[in-house]
Structure 1
Amino acid sequence: CKSGWRYAFNFCYYISAFADIQSHSGAQAACKTQGGELFWPQFVYESFFLKKTLNKVKISTHFFWTNGEKHGGKWDWGTGHPAFSNPRWSPGQPDGSGTCLAVYSHTGFLDDQPCETQYNYVCKTKA
């Protein structure tokens, strides 16, 4: 993996720096610039890895953008990725507050958020 990225499960993961907050589309563009894409969990254990990793990172934000979006009333992980299966939602979520998905760092659960909100983000690419 490139410098600043973390290796696990044959993928490389990048967690944006404290001051690097973006809207959902800004986070997508930032990941693409670095040769990756916003995080999407291919395996259940990736979600647990992400939770553990985010809890080690000393960033005060509680949410990090993922690749999840709502299209046509359904949530998905973006073009070319498997559809949602058993998503790990935060209690009371989704509540209709947004059409983009963030992961809550303390639990690893998903939360729908307005896409314009500025959060840190997690990128993913094949190792």
Structure 2
Amino acid sequence: MLLKSSSLLLYKNKPQSGAEVTSDVQKQTQDANVSALTATILKLQQEKNKLQKEKDELVARLAATKAPDVIKPTTKPAPVPVTCPSDWHLFNNSCYFISTISRDWSGSQAFCQTQGGHLAIIHTAEEQTFVWNLLSRGHWNAYWFGITDEHTEDQWKWVDGTPLVGGFWEVGEPNNHIDEDCGYIVKTRVLERVAIRSWYDAPCSMFWRFICEKEMNATTAP
């Protein structure tokens, strides 16, 4: 029994070889490195969490103090001003031409159509006054415009087919004195004559000067 105990004690106290010592040192070093790396990772994670928290707080403050977005109105292209050809006169969105030649009513309408328009259609006192002011005074200066009752007597219609409402007839007109189915405007030297009482009817075969009109659509600048 004593022999066995001595042998066991001798074994346990047996000095380690150089390889075994080196292995233990390496293991301890590795353990220390792992511990240091773990501590570094933990520290970085904590710093990341802190930065994320600060970022979230800043975003929240910015959202609380930021003024509401101003909705900018949709920018539309500016319309190009309406212009009239040479010798035509602008009123609202229409151009008017006062002829210096004389034709019958249908010939006058045909000429206006070749210019891209028609005999003038006049709906308002302002339009009537504008056109009348373009006319020259004379003994009996007469100008065809775009009204007729040649299809049905006393049912005056414009050249676009719409019926006349109201009008600016002279007192006693229209009177269909001698089969007078077309309308014209008169401007004389009599200063008391006014624009809103200057329409007459006459036979469509008579030769007068005339008034053309063409509507102009405002174009849009690119």
TM-score by length of 2: 0.51
| Bigger Cα displacement from structure 2, 23-32 vs 35-44 | 35-44
- Partners of 2:141 and 2:205 lie apart in 1 by 16
Q: Unpaired runs of 5+ in structure 2?
A: 1-83, 189-193, 217-222
Aligned residues: 122
- Aligned residue for 2:120? 39
| Structure whose alpha-carbon radius of gyration is higher | 2
- Aligned residue for 2:28? none
- Partners of 2:120 and 2:138 lie apart in 1 by 17
1:120 to 209, 213, 219: 209
The within-5 A match list for 1:41-80 is: 41-54=122-135, 57=136, 61-70=140-149, 71-73=151-153, 74-80=155-161
Higher relative contact order (CA 8 A, sep 6+): 1
SS of equivalent to 1:28: helix
Kept in 1: contact 2:138–2:187 (CA 8 A): no
Gap change, CA 1:104 and 1:113, over 3 Å in 2: same
Q: Unpaired runs of 5+ in structure 1?
A: none
State percent identity of aligned pairs: 28
Kept in 1: contact 2:104–2:208 (CA 8 A): yes
- Partners of 2:108 and 2:185 lie apart in 1 by 14
Gap change, CA 1:87 and 1:42, over 3 Å in 2: closer
Q: CA RMSD in A?
A: 1.7
Kept in 1: contact 2:141–2:187 (CA 8 A): yes
Structure 1 residue 76, shift from structure 2 partner: 1.1
Structure 1 residue 61, shift from structure 2 partner: 4.9
Kept in 1: contact 2:137–2:187 (CA 8 A): no
Gap change, CA 1:125 and 1:60, over 3 Å in 2: farther
Kept in 1: contact 2:119–2:159 (CA 8 A): no
Gap change, CA 1:78 and 1:40, over 3 Å in 2: same
- Higher helix fraction: Structure 1 or Structure 2? 2
Code of the residue aligned with 2:203 in structure 1: it is P
